[in-house]
Amino acid sequence: MAGIGHKQASELLRKTFNEAENLLPFRAAPAIPDEQKCHFDAIFKSSTQAYREVLLGCIVVRLLDKGIDIRLPYVSQGDQAFNGRDLDEMVINPFLKEQQIPSSKGPYLSVFRRQVRFDESTRERLRDKSRYDAFLSIVSRLESEHDDTVLQRYLLYALYCFLVLREASRIPLARVHRLSVPQYESVVDHMLGTASGGLIPVLLVVAMFRALKEAFALDWDIDYQGVNVSDRSSQAAGDVTIKTGAHLVLGVEVTERRVDKARVVATFQSKIAPGGVEDYVFLVNLKLINDEAIKQAHQYFAQGHEVCFVDLRTWLSTLLVTIGIKGRSSFNNYLQELLADDDVPSQVKTAWNSAIQGITSR
């Protein structure tokens, strides 16, 4: 591929894909001109998958080498051409398959004739002409753009569209019957590194509390709510609420966000004090807690409310050892049950599948 390395192209895709994943839980589509957005939408509605896959390749090539003519995907077409087949087979298709995004089984250029040029001369030979016209409109926009910031936004939007496409598809959940403690830790690390709008940590915590209940025959009722549901409106003590009958045992807040003094005060006033919660736990990355938050929590101890901060990864790892083999089996079953729910986004299911594939392929 003239002027472009496969590794460089793959790294660009992965980095930008991570940015798109961070946007998806909030449905915060990247901003591009409405006219181009319409063209993208048309391409992603086409039954010809190759159009969107070729487009992704063209955007990557344009970003990495503006001396290349993105209309010429065969090296025999001249010094400014690129090797579109290699780009597809070595970068685009493996990337889409890895991310479990619906994509072509064969080379995307097979939809076109040999020595194809991405211009009007190709149009009459194609079945979905209107979507090809949309593709050409975006190609024209790309080749006239020299600002990498703008081109990067087009790449981000394209990958966001691929994510939306994946959300609309059914992702089968990888099933595993038994993992070792180090393997569970690897899975947890991988999943917690995936953007989910806070859903993944909550599901991990709920699965662990359910496993604890079963392992030690605890008389617990474990309730949890969606990450976008207001605790105040639902009258819940936290993201996870544990009760024994009418008695509130524990209120748990699972968060990926920074915890400062203001948040501790707000949590106390809206959940802890009104509910008379004696034990309240923040499961969080301890690096995200500042000293003022800890001092504020200590003040509530004198008022009969113990507010604790516990590192989520450490908590999970410790309990995975504590509950033993049968307990870990329960955790595994409960987690897969939660992940398999139809309301769980494909993004979360894919994170699990990727984690499992990573440890089983070693």
Does residue 107 lie in a domain region? Answer: yes
In DSSP notation, 289-357 reads: B-HHHHHHHHHHHTTT-EEEEEEHHHHHHHHHHHTHHHHHHHHHHHHHHHHTSTTS-HHHHHHHHHHHH
Do 48 and 149 sit in the same domain of this protein?
Answer: yes
Query: Residue 232 pLDDT more than 60?
Result: no
Confidence of residue 96 (pLDDT cuts 50, 70, 90): very high
Domain extent for 355: 181-360
What are 21-54's pLDDT values in tens digits? 999 988 899 999 999 999 999 999 999 999 999 9
Cα gap 168→52, rounded to integer Å: 16
Name which of 205, 195, 206, 198 is nearest 228 in CA terms: 198
DSSP tag of 9: H
Q: How many domains does the chain have?
A: 2
Model's pTM, two decimal places? 0.79
Does residue 34 lie in a domain region? Answer: yes
Query: Higher confidence at residue 228 or residue 219?
Result: 219
Task: Provide the token pair at 269.
Answer: 């006033």
Residue 228's pLDDT is 46
Residue 325's pLDDT is 96
Name which of 121, 125, 178 is nearest 327 in CA terms: 178
Query: Residue 155 pLDDT more than 70?
Result: yes
Does residue 174 lie in a domain region? Answer: no
Please answer whether residues 309 and 284 qualify as being in contact, where contact means their C-beta atoms are separated by less than 8 angstroms. Answer: yes
Query: Residue 235 pLDDT more than 80?
Result: no
Residue 84's pLDDT is 93
What are 258-312's pLDDT values in tens digits? 999 999 999 999 889 888 899 999 999 999 999 999 999 999 988 889 999 999 9
Query: Residue 105 pLDDT more than 90?
Result: no
3-state secondary structure 249-272: EEEEEECCCCECHHHHHHHHHHHH
DSSP tag of 283: E
Query: Residue 73 pLDDT more than 60?
Result: yes
Residue 1's pLDDT is 43
What's the chain's Rg over C-alpha atoms? 25
Do 216 and 303 sit in the same domain of this protein?
Answer: yes
Do 157 and 193 sit in the same domain of this protein?
Answer: no
Residue 31's pLDDT is 96
Q: What is the mean pLDDT of residues 82-91?
A: 94
Do 88 and 233 sit in the same domain of this protein?
Answer: no
Do 164 and 232 sit in the same domain of this protein?
Answer: no
Do 219 and 273 sit in the same domain of this protein?
Answer: yes
Do 213 and 86 sit in the same domain of this protein?
Answer: no
Q: What is the CATH number of the domain that holds 264?
A: 3.40.1350
What are 310-362's pLDDT values in tens digits? 999 999 999 999 999 999 999 999 999 999 998 999 999 999 999 999 997 76
Confidence of residue 195 (pLDDT cuts 50, 70, 90): confident
Cα gap 154→63, rounded to integer Å: 10
Residue 108's pLDDT is 79
Query: With pLDDT > 90 as the criterion, what percentage of the chain qualifies?
Result: 81
Query: 323 to each of 17, 203, 347, 354, how far by Cα in Å?
Result: 37, 18, 29, 25
Domain termination residue (choose one: 168, 201, 221): 168
Does residue 150 lie in a domain region? Answer: yes
Amino acid making up residue 324: G
Q: What is the mean pLDDT of residues 240-244?
A: 95
Please answer whether residues 166 and 99 qualify as being in contact, where contact means their C-beta atoms are separated by less than 8 angstroms. Answer: yes
